[in-house]
């Protein structure tokens, strides 16, 4: 089965840039979606189709995808960005959904 690997945690100072990776075999050939989950809340879609932002998501959130790694970038990090972040793809070979292992972003 397809596996998506994320670093367990990323720490970043306010105003700096956070980069969260999502590793998978040839993930660059798939569309990657990213979800933000704040404590006690449901996940929220923040990036879809690798780099598109839903309405209402700040431009500070961006995404890229190439080779074996997709990346979610949060620029000018704010305290309110502290959350868990998950990547997700559709594995066409099995026709199943796959979520990444999740990354906790801590704002110092």
Q: Which residues bind other proteins (CB under 8 A)?
A: 1, 30-31, 33, 35, 37, 42-45, 48-49, 54, 86, 88-90, 92, 94-102
Residues 6+ positions from 105 with CB-CB distance below 8 Å: 9, 10, 11, 12, 18, 20, 74, 77, 81, 82, 83, 84, 85
* Residues 9, 98: Cα–Cα separation, whole Å: 20
In the complex, least distance from residue 45 CB atom to other proteins, rounded to whole angstroms? 5
CB of 58 to other proteins, least distance (A): 17
Helix or strand (DSSP H, E) at 37: strand 33-37
Whole-number minimum distance, CB 79 to other proteins, in Å?
A: 22
Smallest separation, CB 100 to other proteins (Å): 7
Name the residue nearer to other proteins (CB basis): 17 or 29.
29
Give the nearer residue to other proteins in terms of CB position, either 15 or 86. 86
For 79, phi then psi, to 5°, come to -55, -35
Nearer to other proteins, 2 or 60 (CB): 2
């Amino acid at each position: 089965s397809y596996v998506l690997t994320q670093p367990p945690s990323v720490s970043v100072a306010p105003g700096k840039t956070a980069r969260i990776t999502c590793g998978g075999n040839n993930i660059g050939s798939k569309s990657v979606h990213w979800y933000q989950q704040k404590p006690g809340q449901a996940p929220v879609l923040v990036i879809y189709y690798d780099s598109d932002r839903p309405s209402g998501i700040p431009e500070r959130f961006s995404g890229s995808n190439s080779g074996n790694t997709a990346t979610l970038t949060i620029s000018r990090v704010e305290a309110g960005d502290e959350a868990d972040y998950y990547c997700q793809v559709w594995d066409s070979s099995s026709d199943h959904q796959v979520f990444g292992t999740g990354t906790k972003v801590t704002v110092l």
